[in-house]
Amino acid sequence: MYVQKFLNNKIYKIGIKIGAPKKFDPIIKINHKKKNIDYQCNGIIKLSNMLHEKKYQFAKKIADSLKLSPDFQCVSVSQPGFINIQFSQLWLLKHINSLSQKKNIRIKTKNKKIVIIDYSSPNIAKELHIGHLRSTILGDATVRIMKFLGHQVIKQNHIGDWGTQFGMLIAYLYDQKKEKNLLNKSEKIYQKAYKKYIINKEFAKKTKKYVVKLQNHNKKCLYIWRKIVQKTIEKNQKIYEKLNVKLKKKDIYGESFYNFMLPDIVKDLQNKGIATLYKGAVIIYTDKFKNRNGKNMGIIIKKKNGAFLYTTTDIACLKYRYETLKANQIIYYTDIRQKQHLLQVWYIAKKAGYIPENLILEHHSFGMILSKNKKPFKTRDGNVIKLKDLLDEGISRAKKILQEKNSKLNKKEIKETAKIIGIGAIKYFDLSKNRNHDYIFDWNQMLSFTGNTAPYIQYAYTRIQSILKKFYNDHQKKNIHHTIHIYTKFERQLILKILQFEEVVYSIEKKGTPHLMCNYLYELSENFSHFYENCSILLSNDQKTKYSRLTLVQLTAKIIKIGLNILGIDTVNKM
The answer for 416, left when phi > 0, alpha when psi is -120 to 50, beta otherwise, is: alpha
Beta strands 152-156 and 114-118: pairing type? parallel
User: Do residues 391 and 476 both lie within one domain?
Assistant: no
Tell me the residue ranges of DSSP E strands in 57-191. Answer: 72-78, 82-87, 114-118, 152-156
User: Do residues 29 and 83 both lie within one domain?
Assistant: yes
Higher pLDDT, 211 or 239: 239
pLDDT of 446: 96
Q: How far apart are CA 493 and CA 481, in angstroms?
A: 20
Residue 523 in any domain: the answer is yes
Q: How many domains does the chain have?
A: 3
Calculate mean pLDDT across residues 102-131. Answer: 89
Beta strands 281-290 and 72-78: pairing type? unpaired
Q: Is the pLDDT of residue 184 over 60?
A: no
Higher pLDDT, 26 or 54: 26
Q: Is the pLDDT of residue 182 over 60?
A: no
Q: Which domain CATH number covers 12?
A: 3.30.1360.70
Q: Which of 289, 284, 187 is nearest to 228 (CA)?
A: 187
Q: How far apart are CA 316 and CA 282, in angstroms?
A: 16
Calculate mean pLDDT across residues 47-66. Answer: 83
pLDDT of 491: 97
Confidence of residue 183 (pLDDT cuts 50, 70, 90): very low
Q: Where are the alpha helices (DSSP H) in 364-478?
A: 387-405, 411-431, 443-446, 454-475
Confidence of residue 24 (pLDDT cuts 50, 70, 90): confident
Residue 65 in any domain: the answer is yes
Q: Is the pLDDT of residue 514 over 60?
A: yes
pLDDT of 163: 76
Confidence of residue 214 (pLDDT cuts 50, 70, 90): confident
pLDDT of 191: 81
- Least confident range from 69-83, 254-268, 288-302, 427-441: namely 288-302
Calculate mean pLDDT across residues 97-103. Answer: 90
Calculate mean pLDDT across residues 517-544. Answer: 95
User: Do residues 17 and 81 both lie within one domain?
Assistant: yes
Confidence of residue 147 (pLDDT cuts 50, 70, 90): very high
Residue 172 in any domain: the answer is no
Q: Which domain CATH number covers 477?
A: 1.10.730.10
pLDDT of 394: 97
Calculate mean pLDDT across residues 139-151. Answer: 96
0.85 exceeded by pTM: yes
Containing structural domain, residue 406 = 387-446
User: Do residues 517 and 430 both lie within one domain?
Assistant: no
Q: Which of 446, 477, 494 is the last residue of a domain?
A: 446
Q: How far apart are CA 535 and CA 116, in angstroms?
A: 46
Instruction: Report pLDDT digits (tens) over 148-181.
Output: 999 999 999 999 887 788 888 888 887 776 555 5
pLDDT of 314: 96
On the 0-12 / 13-18 / 19+ scale of CB atoms within 10 A, 368 is: middle
Q: Is the pLDDT of residue 492 over 50?
A: yes
pLDDT of 448: 95
User: Do residues 548 and 477 both lie within one domain?
Assistant: yes
Higher pLDDT, 322 or 217: 322
Q: Which of 22, 55, 87 is the last residue of a domain?
A: 87
Instruction: Report which listed range, 31-35, 186-190, 368-372, is most confident.
Output: 368-372
User: Do residues 432 and 468 both lie within one domain?
Assistant: no
pLDDT of 162: 79
User: Do residues 557 and 511 both lie within one domain?
Assistant: yes
Q: Which of 42, 21, 22, 40 is nearest to 32 (CA)?
A: 40
Instruction: Report pLDDT digits (tens) over 453-485.
Output: 999 999 999 999 999 988 877 655 556 679 999
User: Do residues 441 and 476 both lie within one domain?
Assistant: no
Instruction: Report pLDDT digits (tens) over 223-252.
Output: 888 888 888 899 999 999 999 999 999 999
Calculate mean pLDDT across residues 413-422. Answer: 95
Q: How far apart are CA 254 and CA 221, in angstroms?
A: 17
Q: Which of 446, 478, 496 is the last residue of a domain?
A: 446
Average pLDDT, the chain: 90
Q: Is the pLDDT of residue 501 over 60?
A: yes
Calculate mean pLDDT across residues 329-356. Answer: 95
